[in-house]
């Protein structure tokens, strides 16, 4: 118990430290960024509208995936659950997957094993998809536009694309810790659930690609608000890299992690790292307002539904 309290305290301190460092950085460079800042009402409204679309697309992913696992989740619950879990992900320890698994177990009797294994498998698949998208962009630049690409980007996106190979690893023949072996088996089990339905797989990948395009548009708007000339291909590259944020939940919503990842990719392409971080920060500011607003409403509605279901179950048992 003490170790859990210590860990929570440590994560809170780290989170506050990241936030404080970011605020101090903005304070020191305020004059510079105010000169670059060119916020237009249409651009800010567009960022807000695009942020509203994300829960809808993620909700469709939830609906397609969990229905294939035998949970008859409704469209309303799919969208509400996405919004609520996204809000929960703003905690230092990502609570989105926990709250989502709990709700699906209580209301739709979806086992935790099937939920976790399919979620892990789908996430690994999405990393690979984003890796292939990034590699396609880089190879196009190299072959047709004769742009010199930093080797670190080629390596990073190659590793992301290679994540797909995990589903063909002979886990039983490889010497590894038992925990890693069990995780691999669970991921493989989840992958088999998804791969048996190719129509479902193509739907999920298509929705993931749509999400990356919309995120690229959001980044394009944010960079232009800071007077930075970027192309859609460049911001799509930034967007595909940002999926790695979900691997790190040490800070609320991956605060600082997404900015560091996008800033690093942008810097490798010749952009100012500081400006890139602030641009992503602008996008985060708008999207966080949306997440908190919609997520809070969704959490209240889902909480009432859980309470009503529990009361009904108790009455039936009586």
Residue 127's pLDDT band, with cuts at 50, 70 and 90, is very high
- The percent of residues above 70 in pLDDT, for the chain, comes to 77
What is the tens place of the pLDDT at every residue in 217-263? Answer: 999 999 998 888 899 999 999 999 988 876 655 445 556 678 888 88
Residue 273's pLDDT band, with cuts at 50, 70 and 90, is confident
Domain span at residue 150 reads 42-88+95-100+111-305
pLDDT for res 91: 63
What is the tens place of the pLDDT at every residue in 156-185? Answer: 999 999 988 877 766 556 666 776 667 666
CA 186 to chain CA centroid, nearest Å: 21
Residue 3 lies in a domain: no
Q: How far apart are CA 109 and CA 99, in angstroms?
A: 14
Q: How far apart are CA 47 and CA 284, in angstroms?
A: 10
Residue 215, H or E segment? helix 198-225
Query: Could you give the C-alpha distances from 71 to 64, 77, 125, 260, in angstroms and in order?
Result: 10, 11, 21, 37
Residue 189 lies in a domain: yes
Contact in structure between 298 and 81 (CB atoms under 8 Å) = yes
pLDDT for res 306: 75
Residue 20 lies in a domain: no
What is the tens place of the pLDDT at every residue in 307-318? Answer: 776 666 666 665
Residue 277 lies in a domain: yes
Residue 274 lies in a domain: yes
227 phi-psi bin (left φ>0, alpha ψ -120 to 50, beta other): left
Residue 273 lies in a domain: yes
Put simply, whether the predicted model's pTM sits higher than 0.75 gets the answer yes
Q: Mean pLDDT across the chain, nearest whole number?
A: 82
pLDDT for res 109: 87
- The percent of residues above 90 in pLDDT, for the chain, comes to 30
- Quick check: 267 pLDDT over 60? yes
Q: Which residues contact 290 (CB under 8 A, 6 or more apart)?
A: 48, 51, 52
Total domain count for the chain? 1
Contact in structure between 36 and 281 (CB atoms under 8 Å) = no
Residue 258 lies in a domain: yes
3-state secondary structure of 230: coil
- Quick check: 150 pLDDT over 70? yes
Tell me the chain's radius of gyration from C-alpha atoms.
21
Q: Phi first, then psi: what are they for 187, rounded to 5°?
A: -60, -40
Residue 216 lies in a domain: yes
Q: Phi first, then psi: what are they for 39, rounded to 5°?
A: -85, 125
Q: How far apart are CA 32 and CA 9, in angstroms?
A: 35
What is the tens place of the pLDDT at every residue in 18-31? Answer: 667 667 766 676 67
């Amino acid at each position: 118990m003490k170790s859990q309290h210590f860990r929570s305290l440590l994560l809170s301190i780290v989170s506050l430290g990241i936030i404080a460092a970011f605020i101090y950085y903005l304070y020191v460079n305020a004059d510079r960024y105010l000169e670059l800042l060119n916020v237009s009402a249409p651009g800010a409204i567009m960022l807000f509208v695009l942020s509203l679309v994300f829960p809808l697309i993620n909700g469709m992913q939830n609906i397609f995936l969990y229905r294939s696992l035998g949970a008859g989740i409704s469209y309303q619950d799919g969208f509400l659950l996405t919004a609520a879990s996204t809000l929960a992900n703003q905690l230092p320890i990502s609570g989105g997957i926990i709250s989502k698994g709990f709700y699906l177990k209580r209301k739709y009797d979806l086992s935790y094993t099937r939920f976790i294994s399919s979620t892990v498998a789908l996430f690994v698949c999405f990393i690979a998809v984003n890796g292939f998208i990034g590699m396609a962009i880089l190879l196009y630049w190299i072959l047709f536009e004769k742009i010199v690409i930093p080797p670190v980007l080629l390596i990073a996106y190659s590793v992301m694309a290679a994540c797909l190979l995990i589903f063909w690893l002979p886990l039983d023949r490889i010497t590894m810790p038992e925990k890693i072996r069990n995780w691999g088996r669970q991921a493989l089990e989840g992958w088999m659930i998804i791969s048996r339905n190719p129509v479902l797989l193509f739907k999920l990948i298509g929705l993931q690609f749509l999400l990356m395009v919309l995120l690229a548009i959001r980044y394009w708007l944010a960079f232009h608000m800071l007077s930075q000339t970027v192309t859609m291909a460049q911001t799509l590259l930034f967007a595909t890299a940002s999926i790695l944020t979900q691997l790190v939940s040490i800070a609320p919503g991956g605060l600082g992690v997404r900015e560091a990842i996008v800033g690093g990719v942008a810097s490798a392409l010749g952009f100012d790292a500081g400006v890139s971080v602030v641009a992503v920060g602008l996008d985060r500011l708008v999207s966080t307002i949306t997440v908190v607003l919609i997520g809070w409403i969704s959490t209240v509605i889902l909480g009432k539904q859980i309470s009503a279901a529990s009361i009904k179950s108790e009455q039936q048992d009586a």
